[in-house]
């Protein structure tokens, strides 16, 4: 027990966070592709300041959990990889954002 | 480049997140001990639904980065570990919360 923290504080919003979505690069990917945006691999790599290898790993995790759809194709003769959110991905991002809002409100002392 | 994302979206808030603070259990610890609260180990373990070993590891990381202060003592004859935030910890939490707010606003389409 704490000296200063009451029982009302027990329901900690951070325990609802899902590591698959909360990890900062994956959160960044989902935030960029949300609302049906179709985003190219190179754009994500630059925007999120990741190496190609690192981005690939995060995309694999998100695809494995059904949160994004990956599409390989060509832009002229150059191979391209396109990423879109799935319905589950949009839902997971919305859940994460609701929890982040609860954390912000908790820390800043505002009511949810 | 993306088909649908403009240059204005380039400054991705998730790239400002610090993994030391953003990891969900460590974020939970900092959120609970913020504002000078002095919190006991067992309380953190239960509130964050962690094993003792797992909590110890996260506390070590936060202590290593100077974000919390750990104090060992006794409550009667029982050993106790108390955790408080440092000034750097409070600052790091505030930075994290500012970034989380920016992410929430970005995803929900509100202006920051």
| DSSP structural state of residue B58 | H
| DSSP structural state of residue A7 | G
Contact B15, A49 (CB under 8 A): yes
User: What pairs with residue A75 in β-bridges?
Assistant: A78
Residues A10-54: pLDDT tens digits?
578 999 999 999 999 999 999 999 966 899 999 999 999 999 999
How far apart CA B14 and CA B100 sit, in angstroms, is 8
Question: What are the DSSP E strand ranges found in chain B?
Answer: 38-40, 68-75, 78-85
Sole residue written with tokens 């998100």: A62
- Report, in this order, helix, strand and coil percent for chain A, each rounded to 5: 55, 15, 25
Residues B45-73: pLDDT tens digits?
999 999 999 999 999 999 999 999 999 99
How far apart CA B41 and CA B32 sit, in angstroms, is 11
How far apart CA A6 and CA A20 sit, in angstroms, is 31
Chain B interface test: which of A4, A7, A107, A109 (most B C-beta within 10 Å) = A107
Contact A22, A101 (CB under 8 A): no
CA B31 to chain centre: 6
Is residue A89's pLDDT more than 80?
yes
User: What pairs with residue A78 in β-bridges?
Assistant: A75
Task: Note whether B3 contacts A48, CB cutoff 8 Å.
Answer: no
User: What pairs with residue B84 in β-bridges?
Assistant: B38, B69
Is residue B6's pLDDT more than 70?
no
For residues B13 and A110, the model is more confident at: B13
Task: At B55, give phi and psi (nearest 5°).
Answer: -60, -45
Closest CA to B39 of B89, B94, B3: B89
Residues of B in contact with A12 (CB under 8 A): 28, 31-32, 47-48
pTM here is: 0.86
Task: Note whether B24 contacts A19, CB cutoff 8 Å.
Answer: yes
| Per-position DSSP letters for chain B, written without gaps between them | --SS--GGGGS-GGGG--HHHHSHHHHHHHHHHTTT-EEEHHHHHHHTT--HHHHHHHHHHHHHTTSEEEEEEEETTEEEEEEEE-HHHHHHHHHHHHHHHHHHHHHHT---
B28 contacts chain A (CB < 8 A): yes
The Cα of B7 is separated from the nearest Cα of chain A by a number of Å equal to: 10
Task: Note whether A47 contacts B10, CB cutoff 8 Å.
Answer: yes
Kindly provide the b/e burial profile for residues A33-55, where b requires at least 16 CB atoms within 10 angstroms of the residue's own CB: bbeebebbbebbbebbebeeeeb
Tell me the pLDDT band of B98, cut-offs 50, 70 and 90: very high
Contact B41, B55 (CB under 8 A): yes
Task: Note whether A5 contacts B37, CB cutoff 8 Å.
Answer: yes
Tell me the pLDDT band of B21, cut-offs 50, 70 and 90: very high
């Amino acid at each position: 027990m704490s000296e200063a923290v009451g029982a009302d504080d027990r329901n900690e919003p951070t325990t609802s966070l899902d590591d698959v979505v909360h990890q900062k690069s994956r959160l960044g990917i989902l935030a960029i592709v949300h609302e049906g945006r179709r985003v190219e691999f190179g754009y994500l790599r630059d925007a999120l300041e990741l190496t190609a290898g690192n981005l690939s790993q995060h995309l694999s995790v998100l695809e494995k959990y059904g949160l994004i759809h990956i599409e390989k194709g060509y832009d002229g003769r150059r191979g391209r990889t396109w990423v879109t959110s799935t319905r589950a991905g949009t839902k997971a991002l919305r859940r994460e954002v609701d929890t982040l809002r609860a954390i912000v409100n908790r820390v800043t002392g505002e009511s949810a």
